[in-house]
Amino acid sequence: MAQTNNFPETRFELEIPDPLKTDEFILNMGPQHPSTHGVLRVLLKTDGEIVESATPYIGYLHRTFEKHAERMTWPQVVPYVDRMDYLASMNNSLGYALAVEKMMGLEVNERAQYLRIIVSELNRIASHLVFLGTYGLDVGAFTPFLYGFRERERIIDLFEEISGGRLLYNYIWIGGVAFDAPDGWLEKVNEFCDYFEPKIKEYNDLLTFNKIFIERTANVGVIPADLAINYGLSGPTLRGSGVNFDLRKNDPYCIYDRFDFNVCIGKGEQGTVGDSWDRYYVRIEEMVESAKIVRQAVNQIPDGDAKETVPRNVRVPAGEIYFRTETPRGELGYYIVSDGGKNPVRVKVRAPAFCNLSILPAVARGTMVADLVAILGSLDIVLGEIDR
């Protein structure tokens, strides 16, 4: 009893047990659980199937990225940055490279810029494909997972050809890219777009418009626009709530202002605006838009030496910067402090998945255990980025 006052009238109120009241069930979901997308631990208080509270506990994949970065030289940070959001390495290193370049006042070669756009948009498609597949798994459909990976494999093959890596590329460097595209690579990218665009229909037939899938996701985990903004959500998770905010449009970085694409927002087609289905469908639509950007970039790419502007020694003047880019998961911000030396003094990352996860307790209350899995999946978290 925290109350020490003996006087209040409540003293005589007997606590009458509700005969139908059952105990809460404390359920430890994770860190080893098939649908927590890695090593997230969610502590659930449940009343039967109803979740009364869900508290995410993170840190099981903490790899001290930020401390590591302080010890590394400027270019050495890039492989570490890749490992944060391992499903979208290109987008991560793009943000870091752009931030450092802005500090240095470095103007990057045109061809390298186009190559950067191509690879990061391809990586956005690859990341959303993984989302599609794992989200299918979360709601119990196995086959979309394999279909998603089938297409992703082609993207990864393209990446392997241009950068040598299949998952962690270390391709986008400060001042340019690591390699120029090999012969015939750009044609292959175009071929991939031709191959990929019709596949969207297959996903839609199999999963998106499946009645069971709609029932499982529509009206589940509704995040209203104001709540989404208050929690600092970003990326498709925010746009799913009907907020038109895409850094590629609203705060164009790199050369995104040269391309024609739409920002996809949730419209509440199958339920309420901001439900899990909207967040899912925004990503499906975004894949089409990314393919559009890739096509434009491949058609416009100028000739030149992509490695022209890569500095031999990276000298960053003293100062600090916050630079944000749009990764597949949302707004990835780098706050970098330099003292003019060989190493960054501080690299702080504003991880989109971390902020997106923070809304889970607010949304999960009152849903069912199965819904919780669907909501968690629709946030599209990557634990590598949350724990860093």
Partner 1 sequence: MEPILKLFTELLPGLSPLLPYWLLATLSALIAALVLFGFIAVFALFAIWLERKISAHMQDRLGPMEVGGWHGWAQTIADTFKLLMKEDLIPEKADRFLFKLAPMIVFSVSIASFAVLPWSRDFIPTDLNVGLLYILSISSLAVIGILMGGWASNNKWSLYGAMRSVAQIVSYEIPISLSLITVILITGTLSMQGIVQSQQGNFLSWNIFHYFPFMFVAFVIYFIASLAEVNRTPFDLPEAESELVAGFHTEYSGMRFAFFFLAEYANMFIVSAIAATAFLGGWLPPFSFLDFIPGPFWFFGKSLFLVFVQMWLRWTLPRLRVDQLMYTSWKVLTPFSFVLILIVSFWQLLTL
Partner 2 sequence: MREYFKNIYEAIVTILIGMGVTFRHLFVPSVTLQYPHEKLKLPERSRMKLFVNIDDCIGCRQCERACPVDCITIDTIKAGKDEDLGAASNGQKKRFHVTKFDIDMSLCCFCNLCTFPCPTECIYMTPEFDFATYDRNNLIFHFSNYTPEQVRELKEREAQQKAALANAKTGKKPEQK
Residue 370 interaction partner, one of partner 1, partner 2, none, beta carbon < 5-8 Å per kind: partner 1
DSSP string, 246-314: -HHHHS--TTGGGS--PPP----SSSSTTSHHHHHHHHHHHHHHHHHHHHHHHHHPPPS-TTTT--SS-
Q: By CB under 8 A, is residue 146 in contact with partner 1? A: yes
Give the sheet arrangement for strand 25-29, strand by strand. Answer: 25-29, 41-47, 50-57
Q: Please tell me whether residue 277 binds partner 1 under the rule CB under 8 A.
A: no
Task: Output 234 or 338, the one with its CB closest to partner 2.
Answer: 338
Question: Does 168 participate in binding partner 2 (rule CB under 8 A)?
Answer: yes
Q: What is the DSSP letter of 382?
A: -
142 binds, among partner 2, partner 1, none (CB under 5 to 8 A by kind): partner 1
Q: Say how far apart CA 42 and CA 46 lie, in whole Å.
A: 12
Place of tokens 């860093």: 388
Place of tokens 């991939």: 192
Q: Point out which span in 23-31, 107-115, 208-216, 278-286 binds partner 2 (CB under 8 A).
A: 208-216
Q: What H or E segment, with its residue span, contains residue 9?
A: none
What is the CB-side half-sphere exposure of residue 24 using CA atoms within 13 A?
11
27 binds, among partner 1, partner 2, none (CB under 5 to 8 A by kind): partner 1
Smallest gap from Cβ 354 to partner 1, in A, equals 23
Determine, following the binding rule CB under 8 A, whether residue 135 of this chain makes contact with partner 2: no
Query: Is residue 269 within the footprint of partner 2 (CB under 8 A)?
Result: no
- The binder of partner 1 chosen from 85, 326, 371, 385 (CB under 8 A): 371
Q: Which partner, partner 1, partner 2, none, binds residue 216 by CB below 5 to 8 Å per kind?
A: partner 1
Q: Single out the residue of 161, 197, 308, 339 in contact with partner 2 (rule: CB under 8 A).
A: 161
**Residue 327 Cα distances to 88, 247, 250, angstroms:** 7, 9, 14
Q: Which residues lie closer than 8 Å to 28 by C-beta, 6 or more apart?
A: 41, 43, 44
CA distance 255 to 148: 28
385: contact with partner 1 by CB under 8 A: no
Give the nearer residue to partner 1 in terms of CB position, either 212 or 318: 212
Q: Residue from 43, 193, 200, 206 that binds partner 2 (CB under 8 A)?
A: 206
DSSP 52: E
> What tokens appear for 368 in the block?
């069912």
Please choose, out of 144-152, 239-247, 324-332, 352-360, the segment that lies near partner 1 by the rule CB under 8 A. 144-152
For the CB of residue 151, give the shortest distance to partner 1 in the complex, in Å. Answer: 11
Which residues, listed in sequence order, are joined to residue 46 by a DSSP beta bridge? 25, 51
- Using CB under 8 A as the binding rule, the residues of this chain from 215 to 274 that contact partner 1 are 215-216
Question: Please, which residue, 101 or 380, has the CB nearer to partner 1?
Answer: 380
How many CA atoms lie less than 13 Å away from 108 in the CB half-sphere?
28
Eight-class DSSP state of 368:
B
Q: Which of 31, 41, 60, 79 binds partner 2 (CB under 8 A)?
A: 79
Q: Applying CB under 8 A, which of residues 46, 120, 134, 163 lies at the interface with partner 2?
A: 163
Q: Confirm if 330 and 355 have CB atoms less than 8 A apart.
A: yes
Q: Could you say whether residue 205 binds partner 2 (CB under 8 A)?
A: yes
Directed axis angle between helix 110-138 and helix 185-196, to 10°? 30
Minimum gap (Å) between residue 268 Cβ and partner 2 = 17
Q: Of these, 29, 44, 51, 78, which contacts partner 2 (CB under 8 A)?
A: 78
Tell me the Cα Rg of the chain.
23
User: Can you give the binding site for partner 2, defined by CB under 8 A?
Assistant: 72, 75-80, 82, 143, 150, 153, 160-166, 168, 170, 178-179, 182, 202, 205-207, 209-212
Footprint on this chain of partner 1 (rule: CB under 8 A): 25, 27-28, 33-35, 49, 136-143, 146-147, 150, 206-207, 210, 212-213, 215-216, 368-371, 373
